[in-house]
Amino acid sequence: MRSGVFILICLLFETLVSQENKVEGSLFDARTNLPVNGASIEIEDSFHKTQSLADGYFSLENILAGTYVLKITKEGYLVKRLPFSITADQTVNFRSVFLEVDVQELQQENSISLAENDFADDIETDFSGGMLQATRDIFLTRAAFDFSQSFFKVKGYDSKYGDVFINGIRMNRVFNGRPQWSNFGGINDVLRNQEYFYGMEANPNNFGGILGATYINTNPAFMRSGIRVSASASNKSYTDRLMVTYNSGVQNSGLSYSISASRRLAKEGYIDGTLYDAYSVFGAIGYQPNAQHTLYFTGFYTPNRRGKSSAVTNEVFELVGRKYNPYWGTQEGERRNSRIREIEEPIFMFNYEYLGDKLSVKLGAAYQFGILTSSRLGYYNAPSPNPDYYRYLPSFYINNPSGANFENANLAKEGFINDPQIHWNSLYSANLSETNNGKSSYVLYNDATEENLISVNINANYTFNEFFKLDTGF
């Protein structure tokens, strides 16, 4: 009974303050004169928000009399702000509004980001570089580009304190709270429709995290139509990349679709022995029967295989240089890395959105499955196979409690400089030794994680009036 009285009071209050005021117009591309679909239109400092339709038309209703600023945003276009005043029972018609292409953003899209931090090797070394690159905040963008390789952390927090959502589904891994960026790497072109909320800033989708929340939307209706082909070369994590993306835009039938594929590879990256082999495929299809209802399916699969590198001590750095990697050795004329990380976890999503004048509802469901493996060498009753093991370095003999042995230190130095890699053939020979009684001294094994994850997310937002809005979610 009390809840019914509360709703009645809210509806009565809404009726008293609502007025039949309306703002409308149509959006067009300044270059092509074609309608712009899926642009976000909102009145600043209010709850009034909508999106442009396939023909570019938009409208906002029940606006109180006053002076406002209409803000129009769309991926790939410059933000447009239009001031206006409205009185009681008035309709403000902007008629045709032309959006200019954001040339600076196009230049950024053509640049290539190959930050190693997106693929942090171990939990202990994880940091928030990937989250930094997901936002367009000027400070965070520069911090990601210039300092991510130095393990830069915003306010000292790990990436598990920042939430990443794709179509409303949280992408942070369940067992450690960190986003696995490799699950959606290589499909940059279709992940550009992003919204970022800094820190614990209030947002209509979720509570967010201490490091903020990034929301990525892959609805093909909102992507800039056309085909895009890009090729890149680098000397970092991978050496070559080819990416192809096609977005159909919204057709007359209400259908829209998007496909994207990329190939990234390197026989060896900047660090010695770090192979890189990754494919990425993405597909999305959407149906928009009218202005209120939208359905779309999304699927992406980004298998990748890469050789790891290791952090080294200053002693090792001075002996063999910055590109040294102790994880590999030569076997049959080929460089073989003992630590290979492989990820194969396809993700499928279904989304439904209802956008009314006052009520909006978003429903998302996702299924993720697959395996993540990371190999390493193990040994038992045998010398360490790691070539940079502390007992094999000059400092072990110099810092010996019994006194410095400079002769052995020089021998260790010469031996390490001349042969600083894993001896694969020696490991096999040791396992075949008769003294092992049929047991292996050295084992190459995988740390493996198999996942089957079903996620469901529901958000509902109701705007009672200019001052009162209710956000709910599950």
- What residue segments make up the domains of the chain, in order of their start? 17-101, 112-376+449-473
Q: For residues 81 and 43, give the distance between their C-alpha atoms in angstroms, rounded to a whole number.
A: 9
Distance CA(182)–CA(300), nearest Å, equals 12
Structure tokens at 263: 């190939």
DSSP state of 323: T
Alpha carbons 333 and 325: distance in angstroms, whole number: 17
Partners of 261 in the β-ladder: 244, 281
Q: Of 36-45, 53-62, 113-122, where does mean pLDDT reach its minimum?
A: 113-122
One-letter identity of residue 184 = F
Least confident of 51-65, 141-155, 329-343, 429-443: 141-155
Mean pLDDT computed over every residue of the chain: 83
C-beta separation of 264 from 241 below 8 A = yes
User: Could you tell me the CA-to-CA distances from 138 to 19, 135, 143 in Å, in that order?
Assistant: 40, 8, 9
Q: Identify the residue whose tokens are 């910055």.
A: 322
Euclidean distance between the first and the last CA atom of the chain, given in angstroms as a whole number: 24
Least confident of 156-160, 437-441, 451-455: 156-160
CB atoms closer than 10 angstroms to residue 241: 22
Segment 2-20 mean pLDDT = 47
Note the maximum CA span of the chain.
96
Contact between 297 and 285 under an 8 Å Cβ cutoff? The reply is yes
- Residue 311 tokens read as 């952090």
Give per-residue pLDDT as tens, 232-261.
Answer: 888 888 889 999 999 998 888 889 999 999
Q: In this predicted structure, what is the pLDDT of residue 357?
A: 81
Task: Match 């990380």 to its residue by tokens.
Answer: 341
Q: Is the pLDDT of residue 116 over 50?
A: no
Q: Is the pLDDT of residue 299 over 90?
A: yes
pLDDT, tens only, 164-212: 899 999 988 887 888 888 888 889 889 888 887 877 777 777 877 788 8
Kindly report, residue by residue over 390-445, the tens digit of the pLDDT: 999 999 999 988 888 899 999 999 999 999 999 999 999 888 886 777 788 899 99
Angstrom CA distances, 40 to 48, 62, 206, stand at 11, 18, 19
- Structure-token pair, residue 438: 């049929």
Residue listed under structure tokens 């080294």: 312
Length in residues, the chain: 474
- The SS3 call for residue 149 is helix
Gap between the Cα atoms of 323 and 338, Å rounded: 17
* Residue 5 vs residue 58, higher pLDDT: 58
Q: Give me 262's structure tokens.
A: 């990329």
CA distance 102 to 99: 9
Question: Please, is 289 exposed, middle or buried when counting C-beta atoms within 10 Å of its C-beta (0-12, 13-18, 19+)?
Answer: exposed
Q: Look at residue 456 in the predicted model and tell me its pLDDT.
A: 95
**Neighbour order of strands in the sheet with 169-170:** 169-170, 163-166, 213-216, 194-197
CA distance 334 to 328: 10
pTM score:
0.76
Tell me what percent of the chain is helix, strand and coil, each rounded to the nearest 5.
Answer: 20, 40, 40
Residue with tokens 């509360």: 6
Banded pLDDT at 140 (limits 50, 70, 90): low
Does the pLDDT value for residue 336 go beyond 80?
yes
Among 363, 366, 365, 364, CA closest to 460: 363
Nearest to 287 by CA among 249, 251, 255, 250: 255
pLDDT of residue 142: 66
pLDDT of residue 113: 42
Q: Which CATH topology does 17-101 take?
A: Immunoglobulin-like (2.60.40)
- Residue 103, pLDDT score: 63
Which range is least confidently modeled, 25-29, 109-113, 295-299? 109-113
Tell me the per-residue pLDDT of 348-400, one tens digit each, with 9 for 90 and over: 999 999 988 889 999 999 999 999 999 999 998 889 999 999 999 999 999 98
User: Is the pLDDT at 468 greater than 70, yes or no?
Assistant: yes
Using the structure block, give the residue that is written with the tokens 């292996």.
Answer: 440
